[in-house]
Amino acid sequence: MRAIQMTEHGGPEVLVPTQLPAPEPAPDQVVVRVEAAGVNFIDTYQRSGLYAVGLPYVPGMEAAGVVERVGEEVTEAAVGDRVAFAGAPGSYAELVAVPAAKVVPVPDSVDSRTAAALMLQGMTAHYLAYSTYRLAQGSTAVVLAAAGGVGRLLVQLAKHVGATVLAATSTEDKAALARAAGADEVIRYREVDLVEAVRAATDGQGADVVYDSVGADTWESSMDCLRLRGMLVLYGNASGPVPPIDPLELNRRGSLYLTRPQLAHYIADRAELTWRAAELFELAGSGELEVRLDRTWGLAEAADAHRYLEDGRTTGKLLLVP
């Protein structure tokens, strides 16, 4: 089968197209024929070495496709089922073996590209909005990188439950996308002072929660956007990792809460995984959630997809289609 394999860490050039033997399913695994594989920031962190992975390595942590083989202990899926998954490696390939416990069924109302687009970014937006901080009518949330993959879905889910969304993004084109997603206000955070803009929009009080995936460039202003006892949800490092934070800073800035969540801990339980996926598929299938596919590449062009992502140009989901 065709696959992308890296034998060393480094820039996008280490993502080399290659031929590998088709995977055999372990007793608890299914082999999925990949119809669309998602490209995510975690893939770039694993490629560069920021996140540790063993080499050689086939990147890619999400995909949608059709079950081609099942291990003898598998009860969650059968040959021919349309499924999707996130959080298991190896999806930059024509075939991938994944634990059956990680796959979810994809309904007919959702095509494979949309399903792939919803797994990692959609479930991230879902847990951020509904579990890490439980948004509701009356909540005010700041969403950074609001026109991006997770950001746009997060804005829509926050609006779905009636929260007020202050969306922060860099360019005017992205601001239009954030507005179209339903943001109440859009802040061009590279042009204007984010803290002042959020204070102005909240009668000086600050927001209940800031969802910050930009990291190094923004974490400090994000803290200052919060109300007393507000929550900073640092969930990504798009501009680089955040340095160590002294707990006394949380005290000084208003008895703040700080969390650094990851998706794996919010879908570790299969009931939680299937709940999040089913809810997202339902919203996408009925048209209530708009999933924006930004760009699609062939498998061999994985390096170009990484360059595009790392250039900060994304306005939706990036996919590899084998």
Residues in contact with ligand NDP by CB under 6 A are 40-42, 120-121, 124, 145, 147-151, 169-170, 174, 213-214, 217, 235-239, 261-263, 310, 312, 314
Q: Is 271 exposed, middle or buried (0-12, 13-18, 19+ CB in 10 A)?
A: exposed
In angstroms, give the least distance from the CB of 141 to ligand NDP. Answer: 15
In angstroms, give the least distance from the CB of 265 to ligand NDP. Answer: 8
In angstroms, give the least distance from the CB of 220 to ligand NDP. Answer: 14
Whichever of 279 and 310 has its CB closer to ligand NDP, that residue is 310
Whichever of 60 and 236 has its CB closer to ligand NDP, that residue is 236
In angstroms, give the least distance from the CB of 207 to ligand NDP. Answer: 17
Whichever of 70 and 231 has its CB closer to ligand NDP, that residue is 231
Helix (H) or strand (E) holding 43: helix 41-48
Euclidean distance between CA atoms 60 and 320, whole angstroms = 10
In angstroms, give the least distance from the CB of 115 to ligand NDP. Answer: 16
Q: Is 210 exposed, middle or buried (0-12, 13-18, 19+ CB in 10 A)?
A: buried
Whichever of 74 and 209 has its CB closer to ligand NDP, that residue is 209
Determine contact, residues 292/316, Cβ cutoff 8 Å. Answer: yes
Within 145-225, strands assigned E span 164-169, 185-188, 207-212
User: What token pair was written down for 202?
Assistant: 């909240």
In angstroms, give the least distance from the CB of 156 to ligand NDP. Answer: 13
Determine contact, residues 98/70, Cβ cutoff 8 Å. Answer: no
Whichever of 14 and 178 has its CB closer to ligand NDP, that residue is 178
Determine contact, residues 123/280, Cβ cutoff 8 Å. Answer: yes
Whichever of 281 and 308 has its CB closer to ligand NDP, that residue is 308
Euclidean distance between CA atoms 9 and 11, whole angstroms = 7
